[in-house]
Amino acid sequence: MPLMMENEVYRASTTAPVNIAVIKYWGKRDAKLNLPTNSSLSVTLSQSDLRTHTTASCSRSFTHDILILNGKEDDVSGHRTQSCFRELRALRKELEDSDSKLPTLSQQSLKIVSSNNFPTAAGLASSAAGFAALVRAIADLYQLPQSPAELSKIARQGSGSACRSLFGGYSAWAMGSAPDGSDSLAYEVAPQSYWPDMRACILVVSAEKKGVSSTSGMQLTVKTSTLFAERVRETVPARMRAMEQAIKEKDFETFAELTMRDSNSFHATCLDTYPPIFYMGDTSRAAVRAVEKINEAAGRTVAAYTFDAGPNAVVYYQEKDEALVAGQFKELLAETQGWETERGQRVQEGGKAEID
């Protein structure tokens, strides 16, 4: 029996959908603690087909911490993963110290096996779903009592955008002001059920790894862009307030305009970075025009585009407008110059427009 206990493997699995920001996080004021230069807000739809699945396990028989990402061993020595492991272990240790009957999991090595069912590092928020799932899986394994807000501070240190995924639905990341990051955490603006009509259509135009990671891209923007200061000081704080209001009122037109403007503003600061960063490509711009066409044809704003740090389009719309948006979007893109040939094919292959 003692021998069996020796090799006992404890395990917990979880899954997390991607969250796509409608007010973008772009810029760090503290790279070590991952503290942002502005607050941000995102939508996480539980029906999303784009998700991470993660299993965390620990055992006395494991000799070192290991992360298997999409079937391949990944580096766990980076300070972000290390911060998550360290903080979660410390919380487990507190539990163990208060109850001597608990197994001392905090002293065992961790094995994390994770896979994304969508392209990793391609601008579809894999780091958000990835670190949210990692933190939740380990928190479940350790049976931690901490609230999602508390856990969001740990996920934030893995990847900033991940903190918002600890809540489903409409969630924001308050930038906070404390130097130690204790008030830089996520909060729920509204649950998904508050505005259940919301849908996202995700067009995967490229599954390639982006040339400039979010982490290094935003640091170069902070250092070199002059547009950025205005975005952080005035534009985003005003938009955060307006966006929270629009969500509370379920005012899609305002939600849509703010979403599109903020995506444009974020990509403008990328272009204003020196040397410039191009995340959007011709295909992305064609998607912008397709959305404009859809809105013109409808005579009101029924669709909103947004692009993260990559060329892939996410289009938000309401279910009642599905016929006006989802099918039209694919068709319009296919009609766009040059699309019937090479690009049209790519959209169909890599890209089946995924409808949440």
Closest contact distance (angstroms) between CB of 114 and ligand DP6 is 15
Stretch binding ligand ADP (CB under 6 A), from 115-123, 144-152, 289-297, 325-333: 115-123
| 268: Cβ contacts below 8 Å, ≥ 6 apart | 227
* Interatomic CA distance for residues 54 and 317, integer angstroms: 29
Q: Is 309 in the site for ligand ADP (CB under 6 A)?
A: yes
* Interatomic CA distance for residues 73 and 66, integer angstroms: 7
Q: Is 312 in the site for ligand ADP (CB under 6 A)?
A: no
Instruction: Match 């924001």 to its residue by tokens.
Output: 172
Q: Which residue number, 15 or 224, has a Cβ lying nearer to ligand ADP?
A: 15
Tokens (6 digits) for 275: 């040397």
Q: Considering only residues 35-54, where is the footprint of ligand ADP by CB under 6 A?
A: 52
φ/ψ of residue 58, rounded to 5: -145, 155
Q: Which residue number, 126 or 318, has a Cβ lying nearer to ligand ADP?
A: 126
Q: Which residue number, 37 or 318, has a Cβ lying nearer to ligand DP6?
A: 37
Q: Considering only residues 136-165, where is the footprint of ligand ADP by CB under 6 A?
A: 159
Q: Which residue number, 39 or 116, has a Cβ lying nearer to ligand ADP?
A: 116
| 278: Cβ contacts below 8 Å, ≥ 6 apart | 270, 271
Stretch binding Co ion (CB under 5 A), from 21-29, 60-68, 124-132, 229-237: 124-132
| 284: Cβ contacts below 8 Å, ≥ 6 apart | 205, 307, 311, 312, 313
| 195: Cβ contacts below 8 Å, ≥ 6 apart | 169, 170, 247, 250
Closest contact distance (angstroms) between CB of 132 and ligand ADP is 9
Residues at the contact surface with ligand ADP, assessed by CB under 6 A: 52, 69, 114, 116, 120-128, 130-131, 134, 159, 213-214, 308-310
